[in-house]
């Protein structure tokens, strides 16, 4: 079969997911029907405002948060920057902790804050990517003011014990920020139940629209605007509202509320299908991360004797789209910071390849992808 005649198989959902049909329909309908600015008082403006508020309500229901707690933003990267920088601005003697495996939109902000003179600490992980809660207790006793930890890691799929972390943080008098972007649609995300102070979200990893997200703020807490120039979102996020994206966000959040449990079960079946098909055809494959607490849709695999970049390029030619880590660092010649933080040497870290899929990924595609991966890996090993 020639390269051009092969069906493309998309296994990079942790970078961005395929649009849900309901989201596509909502986006198209909003583009056709909504002409007003959501801040205008005329009928067209109020129709746009209604779309934005429906999105806010849908997000709040999907994650079990009060509607007024939801601040719509341009995405999780913006939200992460806003929460962290706002905390430092308003907190005397701020001491910010984040994990060494955070998304760059947290890790790089914390690095910049450190360069600006803010006290920061990086929470280490072990070889499986698991956090040491004893380390956190020691730092909390030393006066940490904010802990930033992702609910699920975008590269390994590791799920962190958010409710337990939040309890420890609160007992020490500090606050907790959680980036839950990768968890949405894969595991249950309960803002109120987990006791989170600030949560940042983007829905495009689970089939929602790009370019829109949210900060969710616990009652009694506030978040100031990152930018200046408008009073939208009650002064917390200036700029004309993206009404079409809000319509898509509403559709995605509604689907999440309806189907999250079903999607989670589906992903477990698909994971088993993919792993069995791959490991049945290829030896020398190492699963990285912690299988005991890992997203079912995410597999970080290292292939013995093969450079990850070589494998990714060859797979792309064979019609399989995968990645080596965060899309925000694509093109970097450096190995994944997540795998390095887990204690792997650079040469070992470069062998990691991430495969991620969604509930809409057909099982037969995963079996076919496993066959292509095995063939390419055997060929690379021979070279």
Chain position carrying tokens 């390095």? 340
Gap between the Cα atoms of 230 and 70, Å rounded:
18
Handedness of CA 196, 197, 202, 203 (dihedral sign): positive
Q: Contacts by 217-225 with C-beta closer than 8 Å and gap 24+?
A: 217/69, 217/71, 218/69, 219/66, 219/69, 221/175, 221/197, 223/71, 223/82, 223/83, 223/86, 223/198, 224/86, 224/89, 224/90, 225/82
Nearest Cα neighbor of 156 from 34, 275, 306, 300 is 300
Q: What is the DSSP string of 305-334?
A: T--HHHHHHHHHHTTEE-BSS-GGGTT-SS
The residues annotated with a catalytic role in the active site are 328
Residues 6 or more apart whose CB falls under 8 angstroms from that of 211 comprise 74, 75, 242, 245
Gap between the Cα atoms of 135 and 155, Å rounded:
23
Structure token digits, residue 203: 């829905």
Element (H, E) at 217: strand 213-217
Gap between the Cα atoms of 87 and 74, Å rounded:
19
Phi-psi region of 324 (alpha: psi -120 to 50; beta: other; left: phi over 0): alpha
Instruction: Look at residue 171 and give its three-state secondary structure.
Output: helix
- Convert 38-97 into a string of H (helix), E (strand) and C (coil): CCCCCHHHHHHHHHHHHHHHHHHHHHCCCHHHEEEECCHHHHHHHHHHHHHHHCCCCEEE
Residues 6 or more apart whose CB falls under 8 angstroms from that of 279 comprise 285
């Amino acid at each position: 079969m020639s390269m051009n005649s092969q069906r493309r198989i998309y296994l990079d959902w942790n970078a961005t997911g395929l649009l849900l049909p309901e989201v596509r329909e909502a986006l198209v309908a909003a583009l056709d029907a909504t002409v007003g600015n959501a801040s205008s008082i005329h009928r067209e403006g109020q129709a746009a405002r209604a779309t934005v508020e429906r999105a806010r309500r849908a997000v709040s229901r999907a994650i079990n948060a009060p509607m007024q707690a939801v601040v719509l933003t341009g995405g999780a990267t913006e939200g992460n920057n806003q929460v962290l920088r706002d905390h430092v601005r308003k907190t005397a003697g701020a001491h910010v902790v984040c994990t060494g495996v955070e998304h760059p939109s947290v890790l790089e902000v914390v690095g910049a804050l450190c360069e600006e003179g803010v006290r920061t600490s990086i929470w280490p992980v072990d070889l499986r990517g698991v956090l040491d809660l004893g380390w956190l207790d020691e730092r909390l006793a030393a006066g940490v003011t904010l802990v930033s930890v992702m609910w699920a890691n975008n590269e390994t799929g590791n799920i962190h014990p958010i409710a337990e972390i939040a309890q420890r943080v609160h007992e020490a008098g500090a606050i907790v920020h959680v980036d839950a972007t990768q968890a949405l649609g894969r595991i249950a995300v309960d803002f109120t139940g987990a006791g989170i102070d600030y949560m940042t979200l983007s829905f495009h990893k689970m089939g929602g629209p790009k370019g829109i997200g949210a900060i969710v703020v616990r009652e009694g807490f506030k978040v100031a605007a990152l930018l200046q120039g408008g009073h939208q979102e009650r002064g917390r996020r200036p700029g004309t509202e993206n009404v079409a994206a809000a319509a898509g966000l509403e559709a995605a959040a509604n689907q999440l509320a309806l189907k999250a449990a079903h999607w989670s079960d589906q992903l477990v079946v698909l994971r088993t299908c993919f792993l069995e098909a791959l490991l049945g055809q290829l030896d020398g494959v190492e699963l990285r991360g912690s299988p005991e607490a890992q997203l079912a849709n995410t597999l970080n695999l290292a292939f013995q004797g093969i450079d990850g970049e070589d494998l990714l390029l060859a797979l792309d030619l064979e019609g399989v789209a995968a990645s080596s880590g965060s899309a925000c660092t694509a093109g970097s010649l450096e190995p994944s910071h997540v795998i390095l933080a887990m204690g792997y040497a650079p040469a070992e870290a470069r062998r990691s390849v991430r495969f991620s899929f969604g509930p809409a990924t057909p099982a037969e595609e995963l079996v076919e992808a496993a066959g292509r991966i095995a063939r390419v890996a055997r060929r690379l090993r021979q070279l």
